[in-house]
Structure 1
């Protein structure tokens, strides 16, 4: 299965374009934002857990990155409400579930094989944020390949002061403008290496999940 699998081209999905499809597990649905492969795939998705739904314990050979958008996601006796960022390294295993229901942003099979860090960050904790170059930033992960963070943009503020080697973002609050098009909360965008699109916050500002650097090494035949 190939969905937005040409990484040399920009891609975007707004909430009104969401197409919810059932997963193999009852009560769990997903919106496939990009995907290369069948059920076990390199993928980026929005996943929705119905109340009292779960997956059996399983292993992620390529790692898993999660941002909880709504509700509460549980891993055994550990519970992560909205705002938590989770990073499970390659070959880690878990048994995710949700008693009340949850919506999460998930990236699978996109980590380096030698990554070992298990990350848990509450992005709603003010202590997780810092001011950097005049902007509020919540660092989530960084190595010599990729950088992941949340950023708060002031009204009309431009996201990138200089070109970046590809980027991916999810609008968490407010809206952003790209090529005169407005993308509100829940919108996902991927900019390929070499893309020079101007992205700026809307009139009321924006909060975005932002990943950069990771697309430079991606080679996928569409």
Structure 2
């Protein structure tokens, strides 16, 4: 499968565009934003776990990145991650995942370097993990020569603008962003290629966004 696989083109997907697809054995539903490959693929998706669901043990070549958007996500039957937790599982890691009450997660697969060896777990709802950087409120998630990933809280009408020489992705977790007089609500996902300038501002209620940049240089 090749879905939004031309990384030289900008892509914007809003909740009105969503098309949910059941996993092959029916454990979860997926809303695919981009995908290169079949069941084992380089992919960015929303994954919805119904209550009392479990996905059997599986391995992650080139890693897995997860942000819990709502509900509680469970690993290996005993590690529980409620809404707001961010995790990275490195190359060739294995686990069983489930959800007792159901959950929704943002997932990125096969997008990590083999050199990344350690698992990452960050509670983004803990204010101690947030800092101000050049008047921007940031929760740093991961940074290397291959990527920079963080959450950012924008105040009402605050601007988010730059030229990202090596590409950028944005997922709106809460609130909305405005670009060219169009409003993009929570759940919208955007990917912009290298050397692309963007200029957004937050809506009236502000915005909480997931940002990944500097990761599309060699794609």
- TM class by shorter chain equals over 0.9
Conservation of the 8 A alpha-carbon contact between 1:51 and 1:99 = yes
Distance of 2:145 and 2:201 partners within structure 1: 26
Provide structure 2 residue ranges, at least 5 long, that are not aligned to the other structure: none
Conservation of the 8 A alpha-carbon contact between 2:36 and 2:43 = yes
Conservation of the 8 A alpha-carbon contact between 1:25 and 1:54 = no
Provide structure 1 residue ranges, at least 5 long, that are not aligned to the other structure: none
Mapping of residues 86-165 of structure 1, within 5 Å: 86-160=87-161, 162-165=162-165
- TM-score with structure 1 setting the length: 0.95
1:69 aligns with 2:69: yes
* Count of matched residue positions in the alignment of Structure 1 and Structure 2: 217
The CA deviation string for residues 43-99 of structure 1, in whole angstroms up to 9 with x for no partner, is 000000001111111110110000000101000210000000010001001101001
Conservation of the 8 A alpha-carbon contact between 2:163 and 2:198 = no
Match of 2:9 in 1: 9
Conservation of the 8 A alpha-carbon contact between 2:130 and 2:139 = yes
Runs of 4+ in 1 over 3 A off after TM superposition: none
Distance of 2:201 and 2:119 partners within structure 1: 32
The CA deviation string for residues 192-219 of structure 1, in whole angstroms up to 9 with x for no partner, is 111113122112211100000001121x
Distance of 1:35 and 1:212 partners within structure 2: 18
Conservation of the 8 A alpha-carbon contact between 2:27 and 2:55 = no
Distance of 1:103 and 1:214 partners within structure 2: 24
CA RMSD between the two structures: 1.0
- TM-score with structure 2 setting the length: 0.96
Match of 1:37 in 2: 37
Match of 2:211 in 1: 210
The CA deviation string for residues 158-204 of structure 1, in whole angstroms up to 9 with x for no partner, is 213x3112100100111001233211101100011111131221122
